[in-house]
Structure 1
């Protein structure tokens, strides 16, 4: 079978890979865009869009139950999970359709199928409808993403195990949801289903949740979850799963006090994600992988094979949609504009959509100390912020880490209402090289949550 020649082949349509082919086609390149699943990648189909849509429903149920705190009388609150699911599906379908409508460009061929390398610059596509196509291009971009890590404990094959994708297709609220994992995914899903009406137990192998965060931040998140009635077990290792009667399962975990058995109706595995590299057969192209199976790239996102690039989660960097979109910025500059661009030194923030939100930009206190920096740290509880008091959203705190001598802002974390929006203000200040004194002396509108930044950064003057 003769290979079809293209200028660029792009594998995958996630946040970065869905925009780059459009720009390349507009620039006159002949582009093959290969996608084995629904358009839009993880973010649109199984990540950001659906989860945040469902979290919004969960927050509304939570707020409705709090009506009496605000002098508002409401009746009994119940959740129709099938209706929540339909709203989620509608949001996803709309996002997919919006992207599909932009693909009708000359020079851009959308090929439905699974791609694999057969050489450094050659690709074979097993078409979704059957058959094969051979493609060839001097430039190839891999944007194939990741998938949930499978649960590998004794008995896992004997009980239904949900992952972050399948759990969003339930049509009834679980009686007791057991969540495995303590990263950024499990607190979101645990809190969501607790607010839907489930009993929830989170089982974390490590000594605390969210190990990338400072200890005080991790503990504050755990306190929020426990305050809503969620059981959080840390230093607890799952060792065995087994059926426990009709529609029930039993999970055995090893703790510091010995083995413990948990019974529940549903089991969610949120223990991380693995790269979609196996089906790509990167070895056929000479593409190097790291020890975890992610594609190794340099600061320009080029792999070990010149002209072959990778972007997004499959590179093993920060697994956030916005970092994938910044990868698009880097590749757009290089492949469309012919300019050099780099990922070096970029400031990648993140927000965990618990309620209140956890958001951070820059270094944690622990990271700054590990780098040998002389630092100062300030914390402000959210109950010291007027707007938080007025709205009844007083859980959490703001935390700033600054360089002791210059007042340079090294890092900022906030657990609070609209924490992501507050963090973004500080991130912009960091990009603009503003100091703690600049933030302390700035005029912010009263009464906004961001006004608390005045008070927080003023603490460095004491």
Structure 2
């Protein structure tokens, strides 16, 4: 049900108050209400959080459109004749919005149907350790208290202090998805996951794209070999990637944005029609009044939590991106499960040593789980690394999707898989299969000798793990 907006009413008390209806907060509020607890959930913008409204759902819908455009242009490679390929950005935006609206409405319906749950739409601010004042959309206020409070306010694009960053045509990962026309030249600040996904996407829509990265490689957290391979994919697609470079100023010159870039060879002015700022994200904590609740944050504003997601104040918890951990929807959802299990089932799950998978939805996809080869080698583990180029995968050859590789780290002491990196077609799905093997503590030889359907990408795990030297593994093969 939706909360009333009576200013004169005294503070209403709940068993649980959730601030933010994201992919962790929404399910937690619904589950606790279904269990009979009185619950209020506060959302100041859209139910569903970043994932449904500005992240996973809209971006991957648009990535699908970009891949269709790419395949259409490659039709002749498969012996299929097509005409000139054009993109209608307004139709792509409308399709994206239809999917977002469907997911958002579903998330909202799952909340308002509970009799013991109030959805309060407005901005929340702590006025005490157990007290929150909500400024509703009509300007009135409402005060609520709760025995337990969970903060799930997420994060937003970080806007660095660059001269001219406020100009029209300078976009974030949210506003770029509202364009009705393809940019002539998109300049992307940031060679991280978001920058690469959007950079390749808009190149496939037909834009000229330049990516500016201040570090010495794209995807700074990945092994250098992985980053180099994906860099080559982007350049093969026609994306101009510049490292050791930094945007220092943006100015409007006639119909273009003049972007000043400091690089290895000095300063240069680039002319672009649009600039995408993809320089990371910052937590939505600066206007929550956390000092009033004695909730501690780090120097970037992330809320400090322990392995049970408890903050520095007893009874207040934080989940999802706002904690500064792995900023993925599935991690936020697992945070919800940790609290649910502890509060409803006397569970003892924590965040300690949980596997954190992720997929970068470039094409080909980059799927990751556990340790990379570089990370394992830095730990001086007794390991072996199996590496298989996608050009040696039968299914990849049949579908002409041979860019990338599969790689897995094997523990010589146990024969177990410690991690995997898959840059290739269906890379996220293949990495997920390897994650399941890790969860089940399967040995590498069980995958090497397993019977998989032919011809599939998964079948190539036979060949991948055939590279492991059995004699170097202590556990019996």
TM-score category by the smaller chain? over 0.9
Q: Deviations over 1:48-85 (max 9, x none)?
A: 00000011011001101111111111111100000000
The 2-side partners of 1:26 and 1:181 are apart by 43
Q: Deviations over 1:125-171 (max 9, x none)?
A: 00112211110111001000000001311232345310000000000
Residue 453 of structure 2: aligned partner:
445
What is the CA distance between 1:5 and its match in structure 2? 0.8
Match of 1:202 among 208, 211, 215: 211
Residue 359 of structure 2: aligned partner:
351
Residue 437 of structure 2: aligned partner:
429
* TM-score of the two chains, using structure 1 as the length reference: 0.98
Residue 410 of structure 1: aligned partner:
418
Runs of 4+ in 1 over 4 A off after TM superposition: none
The 2-side partners of 1:368 and 1:430 are apart by 15
Residue 237 of structure 1: aligned partner:
246
Residue 198 of structure 2: aligned partner:
189
Secondary structure at the residue paired with 1:393? coil
Residue 117 of structure 2: aligned partner:
108
In 1, are the aligned partners of 2:182 and 2:205 still within 8 Å (CA)?
Answer: yes
Comparing 158-167 with 43-52, greater Cα deviation is found at: 158-167
What is the CA distance between 1:369 and its match in structure 2? 2.2
Match of 2:314 among 277, 290, 306: 306
In 1, are the aligned partners of 2:169 and 2:273 still within 8 Å (CA)?
Answer: no
Residue 170 of structure 1: aligned partner:
179
What is the CA distance between 1:257 and its match in structure 2? 1.7
Asked if residue 337 in structure 1 is aligned to residue 338 in structure 2, the reply is: no
In 2, are the aligned partners of 1:181 and 1:204 still within 8 Å (CA)?
Answer: yes
In 2, are the aligned partners of 1:440 and 1:454 still within 8 Å (CA)?
Answer: yes
Structure 2's unaligned 5+ residue stretches are: 1-7, 471-477
Once the two structures are superposed, the pairs formed by residues 265-414 of structure 1 within 5 Å of their partners are 265-414=273-422
Asked if residue 260 in structure 1 is aligned to residue 268 in structure 2, the reply is: yes
Asked if residue 135 in structure 1 is aligned to residue 144 in structure 2, the reply is: yes
Q: Deviations over 1:326-366 (max 9, x none)?
A: 10110111223343321111001000000000010001222
Match of 1:56 among 42, 64, 82: 64
The 1-side partners of 2:347 and 2:398 are apart by 50
The 2-side partners of 1:336 and 1:171 are apart by 47
Asked if residue 76 in structure 1 is aligned to residue 88 in structure 2, the reply is: no
Residue 93 of structure 2: aligned partner:
85
Q: Deviations over 1:273-306 (max 9, x none)?
A: 0000011111110001012110000111011111
In 2, are the aligned partners of 1:440 and 1:457 still within 8 Å (CA)?
Answer: yes
Residue 124 of structure 1: aligned partner:
133
Match of 1:228 among 217, 237, 246: 237
Residue 162 of structure 2: aligned partner:
153
In 1, are the aligned partners of 2:18 and 2:25 still within 8 Å (CA)?
Answer: yes
What is the CA distance between 1:443 and its match in structure 2? 1.2
Secondary structure at the residue paired with 1:111? strand
In 2, are the aligned partners of 1:159 and 1:242 still within 8 Å (CA)?
Answer: no
The 2-side partners of 1:12 and 1:158 are apart by 30
Comparing 152-161 with 96-105, greater Cα deviation is found at: 152-161
Match of 2:18 among 10, 13, 16: 10
Structure 1's unaligned 5+ residue stretches are: none
Residue 42 of structure 2: aligned partner:
34
In 2, are the aligned partners of 1:81 and 1:173 still within 8 Å (CA)?
Answer: yes
- How many residue pairs match? The answer is 461
The 1-side partners of 2:109 and 2:335 are apart by 23
Asked if residue 96 in structure 1 is aligned to residue 104 in structure 2, the reply is: yes
Q: Deviations over 1:356-383 (max 9, x none)?
A: 0001000122221222312211211001
In 2, are the aligned partners of 1:23 and 1:336 still within 8 Å (CA)?
Answer: no
In 2, are the aligned partners of 1:208 and 1:219 still within 8 Å (CA)?
Answer: yes
* TM-score of the two chains, using structure 2 as the length reference: 0.95
Secondary structure at the residue paired with 2:159? coil
Comparing 337-346 with 285-294, greater Cα deviation is found at: 337-346
Secondary structure at the residue paired with 2:333? helix
The 2-side partners of 1:309 and 1:196 are apart by 42
In 2, are the aligned partners of 1:8 and 1:30 still within 8 Å (CA)?
Answer: yes
